[in-house]
Structure 1
Amino acid sequence: MSAKPSGSETEIVDGGSVRRDHTDRFDLRALYETSQLLSSSLELEFVLNNLLLTAMSKLLSTKGVALLFDPLGSAYRVAASKGIAALPTGTDIVLDGIDTNDPMLEDDVPERLLEHGVKLVFPVAFGHREIGLIGLGPKFTKQPFEERELEFMASLVNMSSAAVHNSLMVEELKLANRDLDGKVQQLNTLFDLSQEFNATVDRKRLVKLLTFALMGQMMVTKHVFMIRSVTGEGDNGSNMHIVTAKGVRKEDLDADTIASMCAQQDMVLFVEDGDSEACDHLREKGFRLVLPIRQKGDTGAVLCLGPKMTGQTYQPDEIEFLYALGNLAFVSLTNSYLVEEQIEKERLEEEMRLAREIQERLQPRELPVMQTIDAASLALPSRHVAGDYFDAVRLDDDRMLYAIADVTGKGVPASLLMS
């Protein structure tokens, strides 16, 4: 047997047969160049796509997929996919009972991946952090994977893990910055709204501000905001006063529906997830989210929301914003009612003061003086006005007529009858 180098190939002659072995596909230079390419970028999509294409080209595979592990959801998300139409980017896959320490070949590959033609899986890790999986389909030559191909793949994955990890860190930082920017924007919005809410006690103005924030900024299709009535007598036979209702008529919110909203003990209720009769009432009215506003352990207000115009579900940060907005509106509207109540109280007190002055003018300021009689008068009504009356009229030098009357009852009715 003899062998001679032939460029990047090795020609081996054995018994008249010639076999060409493409060893250049697995040399160290290929690994180094791939590592340099992947390390040149911090874009996760670029890194994963090039890693996947390199692995497929070197192992002559017809399809491949890159999966990233989501520790929060305990699932894998498709980050890159080649030749597998049933696994588009963004698909979540739950893979139970897999070994993330060693490569998986043929029968060891999880069933969910075997269904899509994946025959070889390599775990990707950096330090103690599990990053994900690289899966490859069969070779187009129909030949099994050779030992040297598996060794090359293991080296490629190990050398690429740092680049994938760094790209992931950059993506996480970008996401954190976006979340932070969103939080800052929400705080600025709440600050601006709080200034607007605190600058007025006009209830119509407050309702417009709330409606603008819900429908203009959060893109809510329908909403209802109600607060507990101070007198205990609210709308539609309930103890809640409906402040605003958009997308639904107030008369459609019967006492049972309102009671259903107020009966919620959770901080947040997703109506679609509930199985109670209260949730059935709310679903019939087209609501998706209920936020009870607590005050000293009791439900002081309720914010009910329909679906968003975009059709998207409410995210946790949006729910926090809505809850803060509901609290802000509740405090401002409560203050509005208290101010209105105080103004009405002062108006009534002024009217009662005037009524008392009128009643006092009906009674003599001073009694006529007689040498034979010492007389004095004092009227102290139990309230602002009363049904008591007295008068004194001199008939002549020796006679005085005194009149004293008391109408049954107290307050305004008695004083009106006395007058």
Structure 2
Amino acid sequence: MRFLFRSALCLSLAASPLLAQSKNTLAATPPMGWNSWNFFAGRVTDKDIRDTADLLVSTGMRDAGYIYVNIDDTWEGKRDAKGVLHTNGKFPDMKALADYVHSKGLKLGIYSSPGRETCAHYAGSYQHEEQDAKLYADWGIDYLKYDLCSFRDNMQQEAPNDRAKQNRMMRDAYEKMHQAILKTGRPMIYSLCQYGFDSVWEWGPEVGANLWRTTDDINAHYQQMSYIALTQAGLAKYAGPGHWNDPDMLEVGNGKLTHDENLTHMTMWAILAAPLLAGNNLTAMSPEVKSILTNREVIAIDQDPLGKQGDRIWGEGPLQIWSRPLADGSHALAIFNFGEDTAEMRGMNLHLKEIGLGNSVHARNVWEAKDLGVIHDTDRMTVPKHGVVLLKVK
């Protein structure tokens, strides 16, 4: 939503004392963590974040790589006479909360907007960028999600019907916060949430972004998740260590997504080298969902140090093949079935030559953790409705 309680739209950017250093050290692989919005929305509290930190440790998610605990919208209170922003009653002491999260071997993220208000109509950072960045640094914040939200009103009021000027204003607003973060001297992941407007992937790194939203909000419905996934084709060249395309947070374990739909979701995000920001209810995480979110082979694909995002290499009807090159010389190869029936892939060409391989390869079925030995372009594959077969081939 783009009005009340719309925080899932965020522009994620990373900044550190030097932009070059930021690109080399911050977000060298896509950030992993958990964000409060998908499950808690505007209800999130200090206790919820502390409990989440505990659960990330006890469930093994921290050790699997999920280290950022990100507070989304509705933590903000009022500004005092000097313009300093205070938290509201749900978050009595943000510095103490950051210290607690850090004590668990985790990092704390926070949320704001370049506009006067956030999506949920709490105080934004407009004309208080340096004050707010300093406040975050003093608290010990490690990640800022910066959501365009009400700044679109500024853009429309100042430049009605002038899209080019509006886009310049948007870039300037993100650069202003980038510079404010740099001035604090504290490294923070900087995440741009502006829904892919003005082809953000082309200019996001110039304003210090470590990640930028490429789409509108995700939700826990297969249709929206798969639509977002399919619109990422062609964006691979814009991603790399320190700066990533962000198709939004993970809905694995939320709503009524089936097991195969959750596998498709996690697989596509790994192929896309996407940030992995879980948003599920950790207090009621099923063993099945935990096994998907913490699958080390799939996470290793997402976090591959080569840092090359995957892309679509073939598609016909509901069937698509996506591939991602990996640092060890192998490829992740995902065969998706976006159709409504199980697909018997008898005689289907895997298009191995499209990724520089021959007609036969050594393969491993990643989700089944099974070595397949040598497979051929024309080997039979069965892909369930809304499902995927994820191979690592070499």
Give the structure with the larger helix fraction. 1
TM-score under structure 1 normalisation? Answer: 0.20
TM-score (norm 2): 0.21
Instruction: Say which structure, 1 or 2, has more relative contact order (CA 8 Å, 6+ apart).
Output: 2
Q: Which has the larger radius of gyration?
A: 1
